[in-house]
Each structure stands twice: as C-alpha cells, then as structure tokens.
Amino acid sequence: MIQDHEFISFKEVPGPTKEEIRCLLLCKSEVSNEDIVVDIGCGTGGITTDFAKVAKKVISIDKNPNAIELTSKNIKKHGVFENVDLIENDAISALKSIENFDIVIIGGSGGDLDEILELVFSKLNKNGRIIVTGILIETKYVAIKKLKSLGLEPKVVEVTISRGNSIGLGTMMLAENPIAIISSKIK
Amino acid sequence: MIQDHEFISFKEVPGPTKEEIRCLLLCKSEVSNEDIVVDIGCGTGGITTDFAKVAKKVISIDKNPNAIELTSKNIKKHGVFENVDLIENDAISALKSIENFDIVIIGGSGGDLDEILELVFSKLNKNGRIIVTGILIETKYVAIKKLKSLGLEPKVVEVTISRGNSIGLGTMMLAENPIAIISSKIK
Amino acid sequence: MIQDHEFISFKEVPGPTKEEIRCLLLCKSEVSNEDIVVDIGCGTGGITTDFAKVAKKVISIDKNPNAIELTSKNIKKHGVFENVDLIENDAISALKSIENFDIVIIGGSGGDLDEILELVFSKLNKNGRIIVTGILIETKYVAIKKLKSLGLEPKVVEVTISRGNSIGLGTMMLAENPIAIISSKIK
Amino acid sequence: MIQDHEFISFKEVPGPTKEEIRCLLLCKSEVSNEDIVVDIGCGTGGITTDFAKVAKKVISIDKNPNAIELTSKNIKKHGVFENVDLIENDAISALKSIENFDIVIIGGSGGDLDEILELVFSKLNKNGRIIVTGILIETKYVAIKKLKSLGLEPKVVEVTISRGNSIGLGTMMLAENPIAIISSKIK
C-alpha cells in the first residue's frame, strides 16, 4: 500500500483516507481489472490512486476544484493517470453524466446521500457494489436506512486504528478517528 | 466532573488526564474521605484535583517544576488546596520521604516503574490500592509483570474514548488516544 | 463500584450495564443526594443500584416484569431498596404518572425515544440532566437529533472498553461492545 | 475476501483470523506472486488460504495436528492447496528445516517469540518482511523489543473492529477483540 505521507496534500482538502482504510476498501469492494469504479468526493485522491492500480477505469468526482487538482497531482505522482477521469462537479450532476459502473465509493456526500444512493443504485451494473465511508453518526444512519429501503442488506464495520509512535521511553499508541465502512452488493 | 478545559494548562506539561479517565480512576480506586492518596507524575493536576475533593489528603509528586506550579494553580482554581501536599522531586526520592498511604496513582514513572512499584508496595496501608495508567505498550507490560511478581492480581482495562464534535453536516467522532488502567488491591 | 458479577442476572434480561459505563454515568449526571433520578429500561438494575446509593430517590421503569423482579433482587442484595420505586410499565405511561425529577437515564426506549425525550423534557426540574445510552446507531442518531430540536446541546462520547484476561502466556484483551453516552443539561 | 464463516472451523483450534485483519496482513506484507511466505501458527488456515491465492508458495506451520488438518481442509475448500506446504511441528524445529523465504506471518509463538524472531531474521531474503500479530500485551512488548534489538524499526498498529448486527430496532455494534499488527521490513 502507498503510505499516507506519500500523497501530496493540501491543508484545505481532507484526506488521504488512511492506509488501513484504503486497504479495507480494496478488499470489501472486491475490485478487479474488469471493474469501472466511481469515487465520490475524491478529496486528496488516495482512494482513486489505489483503485486505479487495479480497476479498468476510475471516475473521480469532487465539487472542490482544489480536490480535483490534488487528485490529479497524486495520480500522476503514483503513475496511474491513464485510466482515471476527473469530474469537477457535485455528485448528483456528475453521476447523471455517467453511463454505468461496477463499484462506487462514497466518501463525501455533502448532505445529499439519500439522492446519491438512489441515483447510484439505478446506474450500477449487475453484481455492483456500493460502499459508503462515514465519519459522522448521521452518515451511518442515513446510509443504512437508505440501503435497506433499496432492498439491500448493508454490512457495517466500524474501524478504530491506533498507531505506535516510538518515543524515548517506549511505544505510545496514537488513535486515528473511527470510521465506518458500510457496504452492499447488488444481487 | 471538572471538564478538561476548566484546567489551566501549559503546553510543555502533559495533561490533564481526560475527564472520563479521571472519573474511572475515582471509581476504580474506591477513594473515600479516609484515604491518603499519592499522585505520582501529577502533571497538570487533574487527578490531584479530583481526588482532593474526596480524599483526606493528596500528596502530589512531579520532578518537573512546571508541573508542580501548574498543579498548584489548578488546585487553587478549584478550591482544593488545603489537603494537598506538593513535592517537586523524582518519584523514588519523594516516596522515600512519605510514611504510608492508602492509594497510589502512577501516571508518570520516567522509566523507574519497577522500583516505584516495589517502594509503593512496601509503604501501602492494609487494603491499599495501586493504580497505574499507561499509554505506552512498555508501561502496561512492566506494570502487569511487576504487580504479579509482588503477588498481586492486576486488573487491566483499556479505554478508548471518542467525542462527538458537532460540525455543519452532523456529529463527527474524534478519537482520544487509548489508555490502560491497571489496578491492584492489597489484601 | 459494584463489579458486574456481583449483580444477580437472568439470561433473558439485558445487563447489568458494565462497571465502567455505570461509573461514567454517575460522573456525567453529577448526581447528588438532592436528586430524584428516573431510570428508563432498568433491566438488571445496575444503574438503579449505583444511583440509589447517592440520589435522594430513584424511580426505575421497565415494561418487562422479569426486569422489575431482577432489579428488585439486586437493590435488595446491595441494600439500597428504601429509596427506589419500581414501575412495571412502558416508559411513556410510566413517565405520565411521575411528577418531576432531576436526572433521567434512558437505556431502553423500545423505539419510542422521540416521544420519551419530549415527555422527559417537559417534566425535568431546572438544571435537569438527560442521559441516553446507545448501543444502536439508530439510537444515537435519534437522540442527538431530538435533543437538538429541543434546544439542547447534546454531548456525545463513545466508549470502548477492553478487559485483560490473564491466560497462560499473558494478558489477552477482550473487547466489550462500544456504547455511546449522550448527555444534555437543561439550563 | 473470503468471509470468516466460509472457513471450516474446529472448536479447539483458534481462528480464522478475522476478514479485516487478513486483508490488512495482505496489504502490510505487500505480498506478490514472487514471494515465499511462512505462516507460523496457521490455526484454522485463514491466513494461509489468503496468501496462497497470491504468493508463489506458502509454508504453514503448527504444532497442533488438528490445526494442520483444519488448514488442509480449508486450502482444499478454497482451491489453493497446490502451492501450500504443511508442517506439523513447533515453530523453531520447523523453521530450521526451511531454506529461506520473503515473508513471515507470526500469529502463534507459544512463548518462543524471541528465538523465533532471531531464526526468522537469519533466514529472510533481502527485502524480507516480518509481521507479528498480537492479542496479548506481552506479545506486543516482546515483538517490539526484539525487532528493535535486531536493528529493525517495527511499525505498530492496533486495530479494533466492531460489526453491525441488524436487530429488530436497529443496528447494534458488536466488538471484535483488539489485535496488534507489528510489521518490519529488512532493508
């Protein structure tokens, strides 16, 4: 895995999604080289970069132009720009312009999660996978409720990571903020 | 409980021990108004302040003069200075000057945990309680091993707290670093 | 604190609330001997027992007759039955029969959390405190949303405890399920 | 990823290592199809199975004949038996019989972690990776100390996973026990 510090970052753009979470997203999504992946709220581009190494194509969306610029820098830095499309737009508008896809990772929804999930559900290919990452209690609630109302059975894991920091006297554990991964597969 | 921001703090002095941990230390120690308490590595004075509200007497030790000054300020701010003795010295030297006591809270040991625990064990009253808080893997290991070698049965809990932070879109959970509470009672 | 195994328990009744969580509830509620406390969904009676040791009076409500019987046994076992009233009823009906109170701990709501919080809010004394414990994502969401809509500023902490279990080779950490404590104070 | 319930399990054999941890081990080890992997304490065979899907060869060691039988069943069930060698022996003896390798995953050490790490260190190829998983405080301490004494810089992460369980009223989070992943790369 690319380590967190190997991504270029801007102060005003969130991310990158921590190494361990990116790793779990790769596993949970079961991404293969036949998959078209949509990354909603690509931020620093950590998820885009990792998925672009495996997937057929990644379409990355962010309404923040700084995020798009940063993702562009990071995919170039890590040599995976050829199969990435960047769209600077809000998620709803951007999704309307996309035909269909196999996997969607929703990291940022700007309050439109309900509508995004409906739209995503209508455009996913057979065996499509929807993954929502949530750091807000409200995101977890809305994602679970909406996915259930779409007839899916969301699987929820909450992940808390602490990292050892070697200080003079020993190894101090420093906590990362907890993050939920909510995943569904369309049958 | 006094909230964390209600303590005066200096950048170079660790603490205060988070509200929830101070609360658990009060419970685990079963402190009453008959107890003499020793707080080793008093830092900001959070634990000293809380225990001084309940205990007969608190003896607070820190080798860092800034910590002693800060603890002094905080016990005054919270009106509990009358039953607190402050000792600016390393733990070993300070403990040698103390007769006996009922409860010891060891938050900072500067690498001398083994020797501190031996000394503490020899000075504790009947029904005495030893509580070690550890943020280092090494502290946990040494405390458990030494307490067992003294014939005690240490109880270990590791506590991870996340706090909700109300941001525009919802409630974001921010993690505090994990901390272990290792407690033993002399029978 | 009373340890978890010191409570009588029935398999079909949840609880007791773990020692560390009961400890935090005592601290967060700032309970004193002048307070009337309502415990909604008293289950095994762990919270009732701890609060009855400090409060003026505890009114404990559960619609499950087994829970009421079990709480009755536990308050007797721990000698705090004199200032406890037990009500076998659903929370809404029971609350309607109570005049006013200072603290409410809501551990079980059976899906009526919105209505319970409204009713509780109308009956709390000045400086009253509302505390909701949640193990469901949905409970956390509903509690935060409703408390905000009542003009309160809920504080949220999520607590994860692991306990050391001494096995042959060392100390294995066993996790308890995470629990959220959502607390509000009426000004 | 193979889900935990897709492994055959015996009550008396620990494992399988949880899905999310197996996923993180694949990422942290940077396993490729050129790597020879040694799995010490293979237990149920979860790690062996996942690594055998990617690696050139996996050598799996356990002194418990039930574990070897179970791992054998699981690699067959998941179709990856061709590149797996099973050794029923203690780790020290088994390692002595192996030439060299690229990655070692140490999940069970039976108290011999120090000696195992020394032996492993002497047999690893250039760019070799050592990964220790620890559920005991003692394992974490010994692994970190020994790896440092071998001149390595161990990276430590502690992972706590909770899983959502859909019950009538909502989504209850159930905690898995915390586990540390301690990884080192030989330069």
| Structural element, H or E, at residue C183 | strand C179-185
From B137, B156, B160, residue closest to D140, measured CB to CB: B137
Q: What is the DSSP letter of B112?
A: -
Q: What is the DSSP letter of D73?
A: H
Q: Beta partners for B57? A: B36
Confidence of residue D110 (pLDDT cuts 50, 70, 90): confident
Looking at chain A, which residue has its C-alpha nearest residue D28? Answer: A1
In chain D, what residues touch C136 (CB-CB under 8 Å)?
Answer: 167, 169-173
Residue B33 touches chain A, beta carbons under 8 Å: no
Q: Domain count for chain B, please give it.
A: 1
Confidence of residue C108 (pLDDT cuts 50, 70, 90): confident
Residue B161 touches chain D, beta carbons under 8 Å: no
Could you tell me which residues come within 8 angstroms of residue A57 by beta carbon, excluding any fewer than 6 positions away? A36, A37, A83, A84, A85
The answer to whether position B120 is within a domain reads: yes
Residue A5, pLDDT above cutoff 80? yes
pLDDT at residue C36 in the model: 98
Farthest CA pair distance, chain A:
56
Q: How many CA atoms lie within 13 A of D142 on its CB side?
A: 23
Q: In terms of residue numbers, what domain contains B92?
A: 18-185
Looking at chain B, which residue has its C-alpha nearest residue A136? Answer: B172
Handedness of CA B12, B13, B14, B20 (dihedral sign): negative
Residue B168, pLDDT above cutoff 90? no
| Structural element, H or E, at residue C86 | strand C84-88
ipTM (interface predicted TM): 0.95
Residue C159, pLDDT above cutoff 80? yes
Q: Tens digits of per-residue pLDDT, A76-127?
A: 999 999 999 999 999 999 999 999 999 999 997 778 999 999 999 999 999 9
Alpha-carbon distance B160 to nearest alpha carbon in chain D (angstroms): 10
pLDDT at residue C42 in the model: 97
pLDDT at residue A96 in the model: 96
pLDDT at residue D130 in the model: 98
Q: What is the DSSP letter of C16?
A: P
Q: What is the DSSP letter of C30?
A: T
* Tokens matching residue A107: 């990291």
Report the pLDDT averaged over residues C36-61: 98
In chain A, what residues touch C158 (CB-CB under 8 Å)?
Answer: 178
Report the pLDDT averaged over residues C150-161: 97
Mean pLDDT taken over chain D: 96
Residue D169, pLDDT above cutoff 90? no
The answer to whether position D27 is within a domain reads: yes
The answer to whether position D1 is within a domain reads: no
* Tokens matching residue A81: 């720009």
Alpha-carbon distance B49 to nearest alpha carbon in chain C (angstroms): 15
Q: Which amino acid is present at A57?
A: K
Has D42 been labeled as part of a binding site? yes
Residue B110, pLDDT above cutoff 90? no
Helix (H, G, I), strand (E, B) or coil at D151: coil
| Residue B7 to residue B10: CA distance in whole angstroms | 10
In chain A, what residues touch B113 (CB-CB under 8 Å)?
Answer: none
In chain B, beta strands by DSSP E: 36-40, 57-62, 84-88, 101-106, 124-134, 155-167, 170-175, 179-185
Handedness of CA D141, D143, D144, D147 (dihedral sign): positive
Confidence of residue C52 (pLDDT cuts 50, 70, 90): very high
C-alpha to C-alpha distances, B152 to B88, B124, B173, B183, D96, nearest whole angstrom: 29, 13, 37, 10, 39
Report the pLDDT averaged over residues D69-96: 97
pLDDT at residue D97 in the model: 95
pLDDT at residue A125 in the model: 96
Farthest CA pair distance, chain D:
56
CB contact under 8 A, D173 and C135: yes
Looking at chain C, which residue has its C-alpha nearest residue A156? Answer: C137
pLDDT at residue B56 in the model: 98
Q: What is the CATH number of the domain that holds B129?
A: 3.40.50.150
Residue C160 touches chain A, beta carbons under 8 Å: yes
Report the pLDDT averaged over residues D58-76: 97
Helix (H, G, I), strand (E, B) or coil at B137: helix
Residue D137 touches chain B, beta carbons under 8 Å: yes
The answer to whether position D8 is within a domain reads: no
The answer to whether position D77 is within a domain reads: yes
Q: Left if phi > 0, otherwise alpha if psi is -120 to 50, otherwise beta: which for C116?
A: alpha
Residue C166 touches chain D, beta carbons under 8 Å: no
Residue B30 touches chain D, beta carbons under 8 Å: no
Residue D180, pLDDT above cutoff 80? yes
Percent of chain A at pLDDT > 90 equals: 94
Could you tell me which residues come within 8 angstroms of residue C152 by beta carbon, excluding any fewer than 6 positions away? C130, C184, C185, C186
Confidence of residue A169 (pLDDT cuts 50, 70, 90): confident
pLDDT at residue D38 in the model: 98
| Residue C142 to residue C151: CA distance in whole angstroms | 14
pLDDT at residue C110 in the model: 77
Residue B94, pLDDT above cutoff 80? yes
Mean pLDDT taken over chain A: 96
Mean pLDDT taken over chain B: 96
Handedness of CA A30, A36, A40, A46 (dihedral sign): positive
